[in-house]
A = this chain, B = another copy of it.
Amino acid sequence: MAKENALTSLVNEGEIKPSQRRSLSEETADKLRELILLEKLPPGMHIPERDLAEVLGISRTPMREALRILESQGLVDHTPTRRSRVANPSVDELAQSMKVLATLEALAGELACTHASDSQITTIAALNQCMVEKSEVMSSIDFFKTDMNFHTSIVAASGNAALVDTHAKYNARLWRARFLSSRRKLGRATTLQQHQDITTALQDRNVADASRAMRDHIETAIENLFMTRDKQESFE
């Protein structure tokens, strides 16, 4: 059938990587997440677990577990009749998730001020410096990955395991939206300035500034999200 052919073609594009300790479910969740973020599995598409498992050469059991993982990250949801489909969040829904993310990161900035070790702050500052120096030569994707790394490092420096965990879930859910947002030309200069503000606040261990700088940074991303919807702009 046509569906199977379409699915088969996309598995051959990537290479299957065997791994050591990770379970098939987790590997599969990673593969599917990538396929979703690249829109190889487009938003709203139904996922028949039997067929997709067959295409990936696994049984339904780990496929089902992978779908649960993605569901908990908000990348997959269920129809009233339990059929899985790729999440297709509206801009408003993405903005709501980002609003929560902004709050989580503000908390992370606050906690990091008192909890982070000097070496952690040094690492964060180094990531910031790296982005400043190489912003002209980095590709969108590399710039973005460093950006994400910067944020994740701050959350890790908060020393709050629950926060790290929940932040990771929101990050997974919002990865694509943030990437699109960061690709906007206007964004990069603003991003660098805001990162500098965050870094400075952390170095000063100024709780109020760090919290506010983190929140403002994500709020800007929310604005970008709406702007991206309202008008198409040029990308780099």
Contacts and interface: CB of A to CB of B under 8 A. Distances in A.
Copies per assembly: 2
A228 interface: no
Q: Which of A100, A107, A170 has the most CB of B within 10 A?
A: A100
Main secondary structure of the interface of A (DSSP, over half): helix
Contact of A100 (B82, B99, B160): B160
A161 interface: yes
A149 interface: no
B166 A96 contact: no
Counting contact residues on chain A (CB < 8 A from B), the size range is 20 to 34
A162 interface: yes
Given A97-B162, A100-B104, A100-B162, 16 more contacts: A23-B82, A61-B61, A65-B65, A65-B68, A68-B68, A74-B165, A96-B162, A96-B163, A99-B160, A100-B107, A100-B163, A100-B166, A103-B103, A103-B104, A103-B106, A103-B107
